[in-house]
Amino acid sequence: MRNAEAVKRLGNSLLLDKSELYDVDVLEASIREILDNERFQNNASVLSKMIKNRPRDLKAELVNYVKFAAEFGSPQEFRFPHSLRSPLSNITCSTSLCL
């Protein structure tokens, strides 16, 4: 919900409760609002331009990671000790990577 609220605050979406998704009138009105309101179009255009012109070259970064993996494989330094391979640590590590 936090991400949805952040995107709404930026003016790029509307926030609907999931129970409202079953109400055809509310869903249709929300979609029409996003498609017809010039504010959403302008915000989407600005966001698109920002993503297109971001300072990082993600393609080059991907190539560099692939080259690194091809050269070094999975170095021991990057592996977790056996004591950290418990189910709880997997959840913690996965959660921190998602954030």
pTM of the model: 0.50
Indicate the number of domains in the chain. 2
C-beta separation of 12 from 2 below 8 A: no
User: Sign of torsion, CA 37 43 46 47?
Assistant: negative
- 62 and 47 in a single domain? The answer is no
Contact call for residues 11 and 40 (beta carbons, < 8 A):
yes
Tell me what the mean pLDDT of segment 38-59 comes to. Answer: 89
Let me know: does 26 contact 14? Beta carbons within 8 Å: no
Q: For 2-26, what is the mean pLDDT?
A: 88
* Residue where a domain terminates, one of 37, 53, 69: 53
Q: Give 85-97 pLDDT, tens digit per residue.
A: 555 545 444 444 4
Q: Quick one: 29 and 62 in the same domain?
A: no
* Domain extent for 48: 2-53
In the block, which residue shows the tokens 């990671």? 65
User: Are 36 and 7 members of one domain?
Assistant: yes
